[in-house]
Chains A and B, each alone.
Chain A
Amino acid sequence: MTANTGTTVMTLLQALNLALTEEMERCEDVVILGEDVGRAGGVFRTTDGLQAKFGEARVMDTPLAESGIIGAAIGMALYGLRPVAEIQFSDFIFPAMDQIVSEMAKFRYRSGGEFTCPVVVRAPSGGGIRGGHYHSQSPEAYFCHTPGLVVLAPSTPEDAKGLLKSAIRGADPVIFFEPKRIYRTVKGEVPNDPDFTVPIGKARIARAGKDVTVIAWGAMVHTCLEAAEKAARNGVDIEVVDLRSLVPLDEVTVLDSVRKTGRVVVASEATRTCGFAAEISALIAEEVIEYLQAPIVRVTGYDTPFPYALEHVYMPGPDRVLAAVHRVKTF
């Protein structure tokens, strides 16, 4: 059952915890730091049990300062450790923006490759937990706009485990967005092999289809899959592309799907203007416009702060995805 072969069904949260456990067992350079990650095991319990297992020196409850957490993680990585820093909610990442954008992303480049900082920053993101604007945002675009960062956003337990392990083993700094809304609600088969990884930069066809391509990442993938099931009952066959890795982006998988269907919806929880959905749309328009049979349509959050009471209006649900699919299908 726990052999290196086969799979175990678990939640996304359990898969993340397993990835951290395995990597800390594999390599003593891997350390965890963040607010409440130690004794409490994280406010979401992602690091549950790790301090008891690996000690306070490797699983650190830090003072409450995000810039200090990321800055210290950079210094640890420069020295040779493999720090995994937790930002409790991605909404709280902004005090560390200078460390991430000015420092972490540029160290390799600015030192001519002499100094590198392979830090993994884990950040629970996205809405749907009645958290208001400081516990719900999807800030991935800021980081995709910064050369030097790898930006990941898994949507399944298998990918959460495999991508986190790739991030920790990789040579580049990674911003790892965790879809907190589905931490416990999505379960799936996860390979038992402690050396199982998912390659960075490869998208996944979450559902094959021939009529319309719907592109999403993170928790929105599940919203789109739900929309696809509804559409299927009405004879529309949606292909859902789960990007998993925003930077680097698997352009081949995206463009191949668009060439096949000729109709595209890009779905994202983040605010609309200058969001990553805009980047995907521009890529498709530049590269394969001759295949398009309808305008590219984005389904996104609105250009407002993330609301509290009207969260269900703000966040795109399956019906908004379906409305967009209808638009591109009937154009």
Chain B
Amino acid sequence: MATHRNPADLVRVLPLDGLPATTAAPQLTAQQHRDMFRSMLLVRMLDEKMLLLQRQGRIAFFGPSAGQEAAIIGSGSVARAQDWIFPALREAGVALHRGFPLEQYFGQLFGNVLDPQKGRQQPMHFSSAAVHQVSLSSPIATQLPQAVGAAYAAKLRGDDVVVFGYLGDGATSEHDFHCALNFAGVWKAPVLFICQNNGWAISVPFEKQTASDGIAVKAAAYGMPGIAVDGNDVLAVRAATQMAMDRALRGEGPALLELVTWRRGGHSSSDDPSRYRDEASIPAWVLIDPIERYRDYLRANNIVSAAEEQTISAALKSAMDAALVTAEAAPGPAMDTLFTDVYATIPAHLQRQMESAGSDTSGRAEGAFPL
């Protein structure tokens, strides 16, 4: 079981078990490398800290990304400020890489006034208009036709914008995945479908999700290229995403990227993979840490030294700790936010419900109702 994909079939830059690179390293500045590496470290650091907070009962829920940092940052770092992101569960790191403030990230997890969403969603459903990233939706694959629509709109207006629609391997079974790729192919919309194939949809392994030979192959049915990439190789992910991006910018339409990675932990803080996953049978290559693979490259090419990494990590930790203290101290959302933003203006029936909420029972002593 859980054979997952054969690494020899995947686009690769960083060495793996003696397998050769299949494509050249992307041309990146030292600063770009440092930014990507920093974001990967941040995603890992947040993962560890937030799972701890969840276990302590300080946040209700968390969806970890450990092991998928290369797929997340390698792809997300290609997005420019004007590009739009329609994420799945594990792309908060894309928003953070593009400037989503940690205070707002934590505010969303706590559901308080620092959250741009006003505490209205379960943890992990981050969104921010400032970085053009809508929130993930717990229903699976619904974001993909929306990504196509946004891409169509950008094209209609002649805007220099590409839309990134993220998904997991489980999402490829949903009708909206097929609708989205079909529409995008017909419309030649500037949209990238980026699938993090981490081998698991909660408890269901990849081979029970689809009988096709991987996910990239599905692109052919919709008239677009599909590229299967070693998703734990941040430079391969970056190169493949950039290639798809350049194609979209040339007006050649959408592409499907399959980033083959591995979900190291549970689906979420509510999940227990020991119930369904035999850890002994996990293919060894997927467990080679994507951060370590990148670190080896950065050291070998004298881009980030051990001392520099220590400085980066220390700065990240102090920024995280400071933001966490600020965010945890912030108050919960105001009562009226229960009723605002349902519509642009509050209709009469909702206005009455708003006025009665709280006054129905609050402010009166126990026993005040003679019943």
Q: Indicate, yes or no, whether A interacts with B.
A: yes
- Rounded to whole Å, the gap between the CB of B55 and the closest CB of chain A is 27
Q: Is A322 an interface residue (CB 8 A)?
A: no
How long is the Cα–Cα vector from A77 to B149 in the complex, in angstroms?
A: 8
**Which of these, A75, A109, A114, contacts B145 with CB under 8 Å?**
A75
Q: Is A214 an interface residue (CB 8 A)?
A: no
Q: Is B320 an interface residue (CB 8 A)?
A: no
| Residues in B210-237 with C-beta less than 8 Å from chain A | none
**Interfacial chain A residues near B176, Cβ < 8 Å:** 67-68, 71, 98-99
Task: Answer whether A31 and B156 are a contact pair too, CB < 8 Å, given A65-B183, A68-B179.
Answer: yes
Q: Is B59 an interface residue (CB 8 A)?
A: no
**Interfacial chain B residues near A31, Cβ < 8 Å:** 156
Task: Answer whether A79 and B117 are a contact pair too, CB < 8 Å, given A113-B340, A115-B127, A115-B129.
Answer: no
- Rounded to whole Å, the gap between the CB of B253 and the closest CB of chain A is 15
How long is the Cα–Cα vector from A62 to B145 in the complex, in angstroms?
A: 12
- Rounded to whole Å, the gap between the CB of B260 and the closest CB of chain A is 26
**Which of these, B139, B144, B154, B344, contacts A108 with CB under 8 Å?**
B344
Task: Answer whether A68 and B117 are a contact pair too, CB < 8 Å, given A79-B150, A114-B129, A251-B349.
Answer: no
- Rounded to whole Å, the gap between the CB of B130 and the closest CB of chain A is 8
Contact A75 B150 (CB under 8 A): yes
Contact B341 A113 (CB under 8 A): yes
- Rounded to whole Å, the gap between the CB of B299 and the closest CB of chain A is 41
- Rounded to whole Å, the gap between the CB of B243 and the closest CB of chain A is 24
**Interfacial chain B residues near A73, Cβ < 8 Å:** 149
Task: Answer whether A110 and B149 are a contact pair too, CB < 8 Å, given A103-B142, A251-B349.
Answer: no
Task: Answer whether A68 and B139 are a contact pair too, CB < 8 Å, given A79-B153, A110-B117.
Answer: no
Contact A150 B137 (CB under 8 A): no
Contact A249 B120 (CB under 8 A): no
Contact A111 B127 (CB under 8 A): yes
Which of A74, A95, A111 has the most B CB atoms < 10 Å from its CB?
A111
| B interface bracket (residues with beta carbon within 8 Å of A) | 35 or more
Digit string of B133-169 for contact with A (CB within 8 Å is 1, else 0)? 0110101001011111111111011000001000000
Contact A71 B344 (CB under 8 A): no
Contact A81 B139 (CB under 8 A): no
How long is the Cα–Cα vector from A170 to B344 in the complex, in angstroms?
A: 9
Q: Is A57 an interface residue (CB 8 A)?
A: yes
| Residues in A64-95 with C-beta less than 8 Å from chain B | 65, 67-68, 70-81, 83, 95
How long is the Cα–Cα vector from A63 to B178 in the complex, in angstroms?
A: 11
Please name the residue on chain A nearest to B191 by beta carbon: A75
Contact B348 A74 (CB under 8 A): no
Q: Is A282 an interface residue (CB 8 A)?
A: no
**Which of these, A63, A75, A248, contacts B348 with CB under 8 Å?**
A248
Q: Is B4 an interface residue (CB 8 A)?
A: no
**Interfacial chain A residues near B175, Cβ < 8 Å:** 65, 67, 95
Task: Answer whether A68 and B183 are a contact pair too, CB < 8 Å, given A108-B341, A108-B344, A114-B129.
Answer: yes
| Interfacial residues, chain B to chain A (CB-CB below 8 A) | 84, 86, 115-118, 120-121, 125, 127-129, 134-135, 137, 139, 142, 144-154, 156-157, 163, 175-176, 178-180, 182-183, 186, 340-344, 347-349
Given A68-B145, A74-B146, A99-B146, 9 more A-B residue pairs with CB atoms under 8 Å apart are A67-B175, A71-B145, A71-B148, A72-B148, A75-B163, A77-B149, A95-B175, A111-B127, A111-B135
